[in-house]
Structure 1
Amino acid sequence: MTRHLLVSFDDSELSDRALPFACSAFPEDRITVMYVIDARSDETAAAGWGNTTDQYERWVASRREFADELLHHAEAIADEHGVTLDTVVAIGRVRDAIVDYAADHDVDLVVMGFHPRSRLSAYLAGEFSDRVIRSSDLPVALVK
């Protein structure tokens, strides 16, 4: 039976490890790569779009362009492994986007990168992955 994997992907070294893992460990399964535009990040607050829809829409458009470039990179990684993948861009809280997509699209396994460089990053990365794990009944593979 073919499984459906969801790989959380961003512009970090973590993603560059998680996706090749998924492609090499599960080459016959369906792999979807997701990039989440985090509408609650510090970047959105710094952009100052709070009261104007036009500024927010420009910010989202710029993030979508970035996401397209990033997902082309993901497709290149998959091509190196002889794997075809689906890509998706979501907007919202990262945890919620991952959990909601997984529930709505019959995902069997979530794959995320995990390689903390310090105690603080270990705490933050652990907290992020912990939130995904606690919010879903699905198995989550952390790749370091």
Structure 2
Amino acid sequence: MEPTILVAFDESPQATAALRHALSTYDDAEIHVLHVNDPREWSTGDGLDGFFYSEAAFEQSKESAESLLEEAEDIAQEYDTTVTTASQVGMVAETIVDYAEEHDIDHIVLGSHGRRGISRFLLGSVAERVARRSPGSVTIIREKNPVDDQ
């Protein structure tokens, strides 16, 4: 039976590297590509009255997600394969894990932004939270940032 792989995909170079890794490493797998549309990116809040929801920002984020998933399909074609794509709204790490559980995913591949120090502490690490909660194994791909080399 072929394994089922989930690749978390966003606009980052790390996510593209994760997808390319999955496509080149698991050529016999069924590969799912998931984009998570985080509501914190298209809503604002002041903490007093809750969050302000912008319909226009949400529609723009949906269009962006569709474009990203088309890009993932184009990358998969470079490897002579097809992928199953999905876009969901939610908190990123939790949505990735929930998707993996609901779709019997054997393995998750995702990129890490490689934040360090206070930035990592304040922002948290999606990759770390996914690795802790995942129902299966996780591969974290970290593409080197050219700025890190300077």
- Which 4+ runs in 1 deviate beyond 6 A? none
Alpha-carbon contact 2:97-2:135 (below 8 Å) kept: no
Change (3 A) 1:98 1:12: same
Q: TM-score, normalised by structure 2?
A: 0.81
TM-align CA RMSD: 2.3
Q: TM-score, normalised by structure 1?
A: 0.84
Deviation string 1:41-72 (CA, Å, 9 cap, x unpaired) is 4x5217xx9356xx3x3322111100111111
Change (3 A) 1:79 1:123: farther
Structure 1 gap segments, 5+ residues each: none
1:45 partner amino acid: T
Alpha-carbon contact 1:115-1:122 (below 8 Å) kept: no
Shift of 1:18: 0.3
* Cα distance in structure 2, aligned partners of 1:132 and 1:19: 16
Secondary structure in 2 matching 1:40: helix
Deviation string 1:8-53 (CA, Å, 9 cap, x unpaired) is 0000010110000000001121001010110134x5217xx9356x
2:70 corresponds in structure 1 to 72
Shift of 1:127: 2.4
1:6 partner amino acid: L
Deviation string 1:90-123 (CA, Å, 9 cap, x unpaired) is 0010011101110000100010012526545665
1:40 corresponds in structure 2 to 40
Alignment partner of 2:133 out of 118, 132, 135: 135
Alpha-carbon contact 2:6-2:107 (below 8 Å) kept: yes
Percent identity (aligned): 36
* Cα distance in structure 1, aligned partners of 2:119 and 2:111: 13
Change (3 A) 1:17 1:91: same
Change (3 A) 1:125 1:140: farther
Query: Matched residue pairs, number?
Result: 138
Query: When you count helix as a share of all residues, which structure comes out higher?
Result: 1
2:15 partner amino acid: S
Secondary structure in 1 matching 2:81: coil
